[in-house]
Amino acid sequence: MKCLFDSSAIFRAIKENKIEVLAGNYTLELARYELGNIIWKEYALQLKISKQESKLIMKTIKQTLNIMNVLGIEGNEEEILETSIELKTTFYDASYAYFAETEKLRLITEDSRLIKKITPAVDVSRIDDIK
């Protein structure tokens, strides 16, 4: 089964050098922004990485997204909003849930809060669950 990875799962796969699990699978265009924000936080707010490291990680993210199928939400905004209302979650999270359901993809996330919100409505797992 093909999978839809959110930004938390993509970031973990990159950090743990498990990029091969991402190849040929799916993510949303908004993951690009979310991943950029993760890097910015690690550099600017948490001081976990240097500026040079942040640029190297961003380059890896860009290369990684190039080996994935990146879906846009355009044309599905109303349906995602409805999903958001039904699941009582953010529009961002609902975007992943919506595409996982409509495209018959297993959602891969490391976000425990999201897992609780969308299970059992969506087939959801963590990276460690991928076989």
Count structural domains, the chain. Answer: 1
| pLDDT reported for residue 112 | 93
| pLDDT reported for residue 1 | 85
| pLDDT reported for residue 119 | 87
Of 10 and 130, the structure prediction assigns the larger pLDDT to 10
| pLDDT reported for residue 58 | 96
pLDDT tens, 37-84?
Answer: 999 999 999 999 999 999 999 999 999 999 999 999 999 999 999 999
Domain holding 14, by residue range, is 3-129
List CB contacts of 32: < 8 A, sequence separation 6 or more: 61, 65, 70
2/106 Cα distance (integer angstroms) = 7
**What CATH number does residue 79 fall under?**
3.40.50.1010
Residue for token digits 């993510």?
A: 27
pTM value?
A: 0.93
List CB contacts of 129: < 8 A, sequence separation 6 or more: 108
81/99 Cα distance (integer angstroms) = 12
Q: Is the pLDDT of residue 121 over 90?
A: no
